[in-house]
Structure 1
């Protein structure tokens, strides 16, 4: 019979498991909120975006608007399906890793454009929101450059 695990190892395992469960709930909640937001705003999007002349910003809007829930759903499935291991995981793992920073950056831009539109395209809104957004990107870049991978 094997010796029992030391208490510090048991504590690390329990902590890791609780973090995994919290992450699963976080991904589930954020995916549900994202899909709910899409459902709430779909009619306005159809009227104000789909019926307008197509331009680069509108195409980017469509890509980022619909790529995000697809990646979120794939991530949700991957976190909760025990069969997503080995080759299946290796086949899909690049998607959230590659798309995540792009979608995060695009989300900031979309939010700035939304606030800009709410304030009737007043330039002073851009003078406030763009520097805050650039500072956020800078902080994220510094954080990522000091990341510790386990």
Structure 2
């Protein structure tokens, strides 16, 4: 007859197994949901450093967790020790890739400032040392009540392993603080309610970075608490869940950036740099535009600090340009506070290719200035 302790242990083991299965299911589901975007914005574009990092994050996590899932069905005690080490190394590898992506993103956000890179690499090295220490001094015993690798960890082992997740928590916080400092220095929040900012690279970085940080703070904090408060069989049972959520969040963050810029996480918004966004505006229900065109295409060039320059092209029903002499209209000029002070900007709207493949030979140049 089973004792109360055995029933409780069995419940804890099943809870751990269900959590691992749920985590992998979420990872696979997110992969399927965003695979079309991956094809459009990653596979069909030239490979860059950003796309390589995307593949590492996406597929090391996917196939690595698939292999780790097999540990639920391993019974031999000797194999369990190997699988446990493999799983911990996999978690560390996934988080190193995530931290590398966040480092590159922050480095690009600061216009590739070497001092920022040096600070982040130094911080990462110190935290990596703490994470490496967490893999030592572990003491656990195998629990053979149910099939699978069921390890019972001592409290001090839980404290050791929790150090790695605490180091990750600190690094995520440092990246978020650096992002907020950059947003403040570029004057991002002073005109936050402007609707056109949804096209700005800075808005994507702020929005996705804030969502990533809030989600990961909640997940990592919950996981860290399990090392101190959960039973010996379930110390850190949310580790796989936290890792899978982190992989999904970073993948979506990178896809959003690749959708707006080919270089993805390497995109910067330094003074004078530009990003073009093309979209078409259909006529109103009344039928036509004042100039007789059937639709309008707007080519918007967005600069650092929120400066945007828009050219409008009118097309007839056959896609031919009605007027090549559309006057450049300065849509938005906002204040920018940056280390370079007053900056003169020169832009050029180059050849535009519409959605039908027709080339519109329209070239204009304009000069604007940004002040504090």
Per the normalisation by structure 2, the TM-score is 0.29
Q: Which runs of 4+ in 1 moved over 6 A?
A: none
The answer for the alignment partner of 1:116 in structure 2 is: none
Q: CA deviation at 1:39?
A: 2.0
CA distance 1:126–1:44, change in 2 (3 Å): closer
1:80-107 deviation line (CA, Å, top 9, x unaligned): x143x23433443323202214424628
* 2:54 is equivalent to residue 61 of structure 1: yes
Please state whether the residue corresponding to 1:53 is helix, strand or coil: coil
The answer for the alignment partner of 1:98 in structure 2 is: 89
Provide the aligned length of Structure 1 versus Structure 2. Answer: 129
Show the 5 A alignment for 1:109-128.
Answer: 119-124=198-203, 126-127=205-206
Please state whether the residue corresponding to 1:32 is helix, strand or coil: helix
Show the 5 A alignment for 1:1-150.
Answer: 10-79=3-72, 81-83=73-75, 85-104=76-95, 106=98, 119-124=198-203, 126-127=205-206, 129=209, 133=213, 136=217, 143=224, 150=232
C-alpha distance in 2, partners of 1:53/1:74? 30
1:88-128 deviation line (CA, Å, top 9, x unaligned): 33443323202214424628x58xx8xxxxx5454255457
CA distance 1:124–1:47, change in 2 (3 Å): closer
Gaps of 5+ in 2: 106-197, 233-372
For the aligned residues, what is the CA RMSD? 3.7
Q: Contact 1:31 / 1:72 at 8 angstroms: preserved in 2?
A: yes
Structure with the greater relative contact order (CA < 8 A, sep ≥ 6): 1 or 2?
1
Please state whether the residue corresponding to 2:45 is helix, strand or coil: coil
CA distance 1:101–1:91, change in 2 (3 Å): closer
Gaps of 5+ in 1: 114-118
CA distance 1:18–1:104, change in 2 (3 Å): farther
Q: Contact 1:68 / 1:103 at 8 angstroms: preserved in 2?
A: yes
More helix by share: 1
Per the normalisation by structure 1, the TM-score is 0.62
C-alpha distance in 2, partners of 1:100/1:52? 30
Q: CA deviation at 1:45?
A: 0.5
C-alpha distance in 2, partners of 1:121/1:86? 54
- Considering only CA atoms, is the larger Rg found in Structure 1 or Structure 2? 2
Q: CA deviation at 1:64?
A: 1.3
C-alpha distance in 2, partners of 1:53/1:22? 44
